[in-house]
Structure 1
């Protein structure tokens, strides 16, 4: 079976390595920032395409390869209809959620923020929408109470290849069963930027904890401002100490330990990134 791969980043690199080890990769398409994928394709003498697939050159590139299956893994670009129809059998994508929930970008981060206890990955047909194609196969992944966004992404990475293998096996056996997504159950989340990480200390303590762990190192991180100085926070826990109800949310109750008031309890900041200013009790995080 001739397989073409659309791949970006670390998740994509792992899948590229897997298919190269099996001598089962016809070509790879990637973006300019995925230099590890580009270098590997050069070393292994695998045909590769770098850049936006909508520039007109990619269609001829894929047509010449006469592939059976096109797989998208963490690919940065939206795939146009004229590319979807080029493989003889199927074009499918691996998405980091249990579709139809959490369509869109960084779904694992949003799942943690929303206090989900389970996420997963979905293999689905590529269509003209955003993560809207028929579902082929899913793997469920639990979210631990203390797990961070990066830790969940590692779980995703461990399950990408088993999921792809299941789909390939079904294609080869002719036992592919498709499940149409229920759009009434769908949710969508857009692209996040580092500035989206700001903590609102008027949130309940549970949301603040989830907000922090979802974006903890090596991600850009949740943050607050202290006198216009940025503090990036990587871990918080709840603290049983009391406070006066009329105290403002975000008030620093203590510098050591670093305690902050929220609407429904005290939060202890256990880990934060290096700063060149002093934490002072009585100040307010914003």
Structure 2
């Protein structure tokens, strides 16, 4: 009997389900498939993408797509000992499922819990001028992102870090962490650490944006930079486009540039020219371009 067969034989779970979207979800599924486990990949109809379906077909992984009601019914009717791995998944597991003795759910979260529970945690870490960010794998309980922590990995945030670049790094270290813990999770030999309610922050929802999406011309260079980089999801535009109010006109902008200036003056100078808003503050020149007047 090889190592993979021994793990399958010793696993406390008869069935493994990956639910979610993106490369972390598919990489986790691929690793589990290599372990020769009874595997199902589920995608919510809200997260419909050809990427996951095509991946599963290519790797001979069972795939289904279900809406919220069908998902709940499916999980409620599971009678096998089942491990559910939630990755970038929008479906919230109700208490009726989490209370089933034959089901355990683990989740990947893009923050160092208990900081930044909820959505778009990478943006809030950058906007808050944190010097570190990271990922957490944790057990799922009824309260969002409040379950016991299985493992975490931290990385540094620099003055060049954007939400988009942080997401790319998170994808890498999240899968690394999953690879390190999954055998112990399957054997149910994890020593998880409970989160302390006193350290828990308010949940961030998907519709919330740093400063409601508005760049404040009264900020210093550090906060201007943090805001711009937090809103920067590259082509994903997760938080939409930011805007700025200048001389009572509201401008949306899609590009920015941050550069050091020779001047050491602390005065703020703002000028509008050639469809660009140039802000010079604290020795930095911040250029907002592709301006569009909005109401």
TM-score by length of 2: 0.77
Question: Quick one: distance in 2 between partners of 1:49 and 1:67?
Answer: 21
Structure 1 position 222 matched with structure 2 position 238: no
- Inter-partner Cα distance in structure 1 for 2:132 and 2:242: 22
On the 8 A contact 2:258/2:284 being kept in 1, the answer is no
Output one character per residue of 1:228-278: Cα deviation in whole Å (capped at 9) or x when no partner.
442223432343437796xxx67317669963155x565321x74x4579x
Distance 1:12 1:244, change over 3 A: closer
**Larger CA deviation: 158-167 vs 147-156:** 158-167
SS in 2 for 1:30: strand
- The answer to whether the 8 A contact 1:99-1:122 is kept is yes
Query: Which runs of 5 or more residues in structure 2 are unaligned?
Result: 1-10
Write out per-residue CA displacement over residues 99-149 of structure 1, whole angstroms, 9 at most, x where no aligned residue: 111111111110001111111111111001010011111111221221111
Q: Measure, in 1, the Cα distance between the counterparts of 2:73 and 2:201.
A: 34
Q: CA RMSD in A?
A: 3.4
Deviation larger for 186-195 or 77-86: 186-195
In the alignment, the residues of structure 1 paired with residue 272 and residue 279 of structure 2 have an alpha-carbon distance, to the nearest angstrom, of 6
1:231 aligned onto 2:253: yes
Tell me if the contact between 1:6 and 1:72 (Cα under 8 Å) persists in the aligned partners.
yes
Q: Go from structure 1 to structure 2 and tell me whether the alpha carbon gap of 1:266 and 1:144 turns closer, same or farther (over 3 Å shift).
A: closer
Paired position in structure 2 for 1:166: 180
Is 1:267 the counterpart of 2:285 in the alignment?
Answer: yes
Query: Residue by residue, what CA displacement relative to the aligned partner does 1:35-64 show, whole Å, maximum 9, x if unpaired?
Result: 122343455350424221576432256x16
1:3 aligns with 2:16: yes
Any gaps of 5 or more consecutive residues in structure 1?
Answer: 278-285
Matched, 1:29 2:46: no
Q: 1:161 to 1:85 in 2, by over 3 A?
A: farther
